[in-house]
Every structure is written in C-alpha cells, then in structure tokens.
C-alpha cells in the first residue's frame, strides 16, 4: 500500500508541475501580446534577454576610414530629366548642399545616351543645366557613358563618348569619374545584348585611352564593372581580364529584395540585415584575389529595387536598413556607398514634391556626425552598434560617435563601460507621428523634422547624463562623446 501511495503521490506532483509550466507559459504569452506594437509594426526581434547590452569598442585599431564622400547618390536618366525642371529651385539647392560633398552618379536604363538634339537622349541643354546644378551644389559628377554603341566585331565604339567629352571640355565642365555601361552582367536579358567580362575589360581600357585625349579628363577616374550582383564569373572575371589596372574602384550593386515583393517585416529583420555582410565579403574576396589594394565601392544600393515599395521605402522604417548598411559598409572597408535614388519613385530620399523622406534626414545627420576612423563595436546580435570618429567640422578632435539601431518591439538599455562617466550628446530618431514605423516623418529627440522656409531646421542634439543609455523600441540613435579623446581620432 505504501508503494502504491508513493506512486500516486509522484503522479500528483508531476501533474502539478505540468499545470504550473502551462500556466507560466500562458502568462508569458499574454505578457508578450500585451507588449506587442500595432499590427503594422510587425512584432518580432524580441530581445534575447532583459539585461543591458554591454557595448565595447576597440579604439586601438581602425577598420576603415569614412571620408566626406562616403555617401553618394545615384540618379537615373528619366528621373534626371524630371529633376531638371527644378534645378533653379532654391529649395532643391538647399537640400542638395546639405549632402555635399558627394558623388552624383547619373545613368539610364542600362546605358546613358548622348545623341545631340534628338528627343531620346541627354540634350546639350540638359547636360549644361545638370553640370551647373551639381557644381553649385558641391557634388562631383560620375557619368555613365553609352555602352550599347558597338562595332560589328562587338567592341565598344567610343565616337559617341568623344562627342560628349568634346562638348563638356568646351564648357569646361568638371567630371570626376566615368563608367561604361550599367549592370552588364544582366544585359542579355533586357537589352538582348551580351557583353562578356573580358570584352568589358577591353572596352574600359579603350575608355582610358579616350579620356587621355582630353586634358580636362585624363585624370578623371573610371569605376566598374557595376554589376547587378557579385559573382566570380563577371565581377572577378572583369578585374582579372585587365580592368583592375584601369579602374579606381571595383563597383557593384546591392538591394535586399525587389520592390515587387517588399514586406513590412523585412525592414527590421536582423536576418535581412545580415545578408549585406555576406555580399560585401564576397566582393572583397573576389577583388583581392586580383588586386589586394583595389578599393571596393557599393555604387548603387537601397533597401528594395524596382522603384522601391510604396509606403515602406519612403517611410521611417526604411532607415533601419539604410543606417545598418552604412554601418556594415564602413566596418567592412567599403569606401563609397551610393544611395539609389536621390529623387523620385518610392525609394528616393526626396519625394516628387522635393520634400524630404525620413532617409534624407538620416543621411544629413550621418554626414554631420560620422567621419574618420571606424572601430569594431561589439554588442548583441538582436541590435546593431557601430562606432567611428565624430566629424571634426562639428565636434572637437578626439570625439567618438556611436550609432545604435534597436529593431525590437521594446526598449533596450545599453551599458557603455568605457564611457560610463563621460558626458554625451544624443540624437534619437523616432517616428514623426502616430503612424509609427510607416510614418512619412521623423522626429529628432521628440521634435518632428520639417523644412522651415525651404531650409533645414537646426538639427541639434540633447545633452544626455552619464551612465546607461536606453534606446526606444523601433528607433535608432547617435551618441557623441566629445571628451573621449580617442587617440586615432586626434590625428
């Protein structure tokens, strides 16, 4: 009887444990639902633990150097025509100057055409006004030449390029750089033209000779192959075929997904963010196998290709992928990142009315805050933390900038033990209205950012007390430590 009693008691204990576990599970689930944001904020990326994220920065070694041209801008030919109607707008000039200095990359659907005064192509008048606009804005032009003009043997015919260069030289236009064609690796699809990487390498060497004929442009750089993807066949094959001797940088494009298949959850998904690092690693692996010292540029990029996603790539949530992209590229050694596009469609940083989308404000702040040596920063995988010297045009030499992304649906606290007792300046970016992640506006330290008489308002930080830093749910923050006196940032 005693044995049966013990067995019965054990069953009772086990049953009680099961009910307790189920009860705790239900409580946790209910609690999680209570914390979940609105449906359009797609709850996921719940922090791994409640303890503060301990951030450490290796200040003894620089991973890369962010220059004043780190962020550039790309503009397609059809959009350039639309934008040209606003070149005299003081509002546009004000907005563009805030992003200077920068590279401006202009191209068409696979190639840019120069056919004099014919309806299809860049006319002398458009080319004239475009160059004047970029020069007054402090932007350095990179022009993509028409690559579809070819001899019968398949080699590039440079006669059209010479016409453009002659006209530009007569006008004394400054053209910083050139490309030959755009996304040659997929030309066989939209243009029914196939150009091998070996042929493109020969064509680029021809372009180098053509530029040497013009004193205005013999020192202008060439970049390429500007592939749609990074793959050994085309990206590496182009460089290995001799082009590495002619180009200043090996260039490629990257989008996380197509605008035709965008989803709200992609923008704050850590797995989506992780994809870029793998692509950049492949680009460096392939370029360094040919020339270990050749710079690599991300010459066209955004969150979603094919025009972007309406209501997503032009809203606050787009900033997560954009800011993370800048951090990844800076840490991995990319020298230039060209945002596509500057104006128009659903992924422009300016909309069709020349009003700033949230990514415009983020880009301006990045340029004002971050410049110089880049450092390795460690934290936790469900958040993003990056560090670099602060721009000495706006902060004292030796200042450190740390930028943090919290793509989670609840606040995250960060412990920065190296700077516990140091004062810091804070720029906290959150949605600008009740629309949350899909807000068309952004707030800086709680103040909605809007133009004032077609000019930018003061983008001032707030002084934050020493100690730990709490970053709100679904937001990103810049911290500047003006008294850090980082030795590498002092030089």
Percent composition of the chain: helix, strand, coil (DSSP 3-state, to 5): 35, 25, 40
Q: Which of 183, 198, 310, 483 is catalytic?
A: 183
Q: Annotate 94-159 with DSSP letters as a single string.
A: HHHHTT-SEEEEEE-SSS----TTSSSS--HHHHHHHHHHHHHHTEEEEEEEP---B-TTS-B-TH
DSSP letter (8 states) at residue 456: P
DSSP letter (8 states) at residue 236: I
State the distance between the two ends of the chain, measured CA to CA, in whole angstroms: 85
Whole-Å CA distances, 315 to 27, 155, 356, 361: 35, 44, 10, 12
* CB-CB contact of 251 with 179 (8 Å): yes
What counts of helices (H) and strands (E) characterise the chain? Answer: 11, 21
Query: Which residues does residue 304 pair with via DSSP β-bridges, in sequence order?
Result: 257
* CB-CB contact of 409 with 43 (8 Å): yes
* CB-CB contact of 165 with 207 (8 Å): no
Q: Which of 98, 179, 300, 462 is catalytic?
A: 300
- Smallest CA-to-CA distance from 94 within 459, 457, 454, 460 is with 454
Tell me which H or E stretch contains 337.
strand 336-340
Beta strand pairing call for 336-340 and 296-305: parallel
CB within 8 A of 322, min separation 6: which ones?
Answer: 302, 303, 339, 359, 362, 363
Q: Is 165 helix (H, G, I), strand (E, B) or coil?
A: helix
- For 241, the token pair is 């075929």
| 183 classed as catalytic | yes
| 300 classed as catalytic | yes
Which residues are designated catalytic? 183, 300
């Amino acid at each position: 009887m005693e044995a049966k009693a013990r067995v019965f008691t054990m069953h009772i204990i086990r049953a009680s444990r099961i009910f307790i576990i189920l009860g705790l599970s239900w409580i946790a689930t209910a609690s999680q639902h209570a914390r979940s944001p609105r449906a359009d904020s797609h709850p996921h990326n719940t922090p791994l633990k409640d303890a503060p994220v301990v951030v450490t920065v290796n200040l003894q070694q620089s991973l890369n150097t962010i220059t004043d041209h780190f962020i550039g801008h790309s503009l397609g030919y059809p959009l350039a025509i639309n934008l040209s109607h606003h070149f005299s707008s003081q509002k546009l000039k004000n907005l563009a100057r805030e992003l200077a200095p920068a590279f401006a990359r202009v191209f068409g659907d696979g190639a840019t055409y120069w056919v004099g005064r014919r309806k299809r192509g860049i006319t002398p008048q458009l080319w004239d006004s475009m160059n004047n606009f970029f020069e007054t804005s402090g932007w350095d032009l990179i022009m993509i030449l028409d690559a579809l003009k070819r001899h019968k043997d398949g080699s590039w015919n440079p006669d059209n390029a010479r016409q453009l260069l002659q006209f530009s030289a007569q006008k004394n236009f400054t053209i910083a750089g050139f490309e030959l064609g755009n996304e040659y690796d997929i030309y066989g699809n939209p243009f029914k033209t196939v150009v091998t990487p070996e042929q493109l390498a020969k064509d680029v060497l021809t372009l180098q000779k053509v530029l040497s004929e013009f004193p205005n442009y013999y020192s202008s750089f060439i970049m390429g192959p500007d592939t749609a993807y990074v793959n050994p066949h085309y990206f590496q094959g182009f460089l290995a075929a001799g082009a590495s001797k002619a180009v200043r940088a090996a260039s490629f494009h990257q989008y996380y997904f197509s605008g035709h298949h965008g989803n709200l959850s992609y923008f704050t998904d850590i797995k989506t963010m992780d994809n870029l690092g793998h692509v950049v690693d492949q680009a460096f692996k392939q370029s360094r196998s040919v020339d270990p010292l050749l710079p690599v540029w991300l010459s066209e990029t955004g969150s979603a290709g094919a025009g972007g996603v309406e209501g997503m790539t032009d809203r606050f949530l787009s900033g997560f992928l954009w800011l993370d992209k800048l951090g990844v590229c800076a840490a991995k050694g990319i020298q230039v990142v060209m945002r596509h596009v500057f104006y128009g469609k659903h992924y422009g940083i300016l909309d069709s009315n020349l009003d700033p989308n949230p990514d415009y404000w983020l880009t301006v702040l990045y340029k004002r805050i971050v410049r110089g040596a880049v450092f390795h920063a460690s934290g936790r995988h469900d958040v993003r933390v990056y560090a670099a010297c602060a721009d000495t045009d706006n902060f004292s030499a030796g200042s450190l900038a740390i930028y943090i992304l919290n793509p989670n649906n609840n606040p995250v606290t960060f412990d920065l033990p190296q700077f516990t007792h140091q004062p810091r300046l804070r720029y906290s970016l959150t949605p600008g209205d009740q629309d949350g992640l899909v807000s068309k506006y952004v707030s800086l330290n709680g103040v909605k950012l809007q133009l004032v008489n077609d000019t930018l308002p003061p983008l001032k930080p707030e002084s934050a007390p020493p100690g730990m830093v709490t970053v709100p749910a679904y937001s990103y923050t810049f911290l500047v430590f003006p008294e850090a006196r980082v030795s590498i940032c002092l030089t």
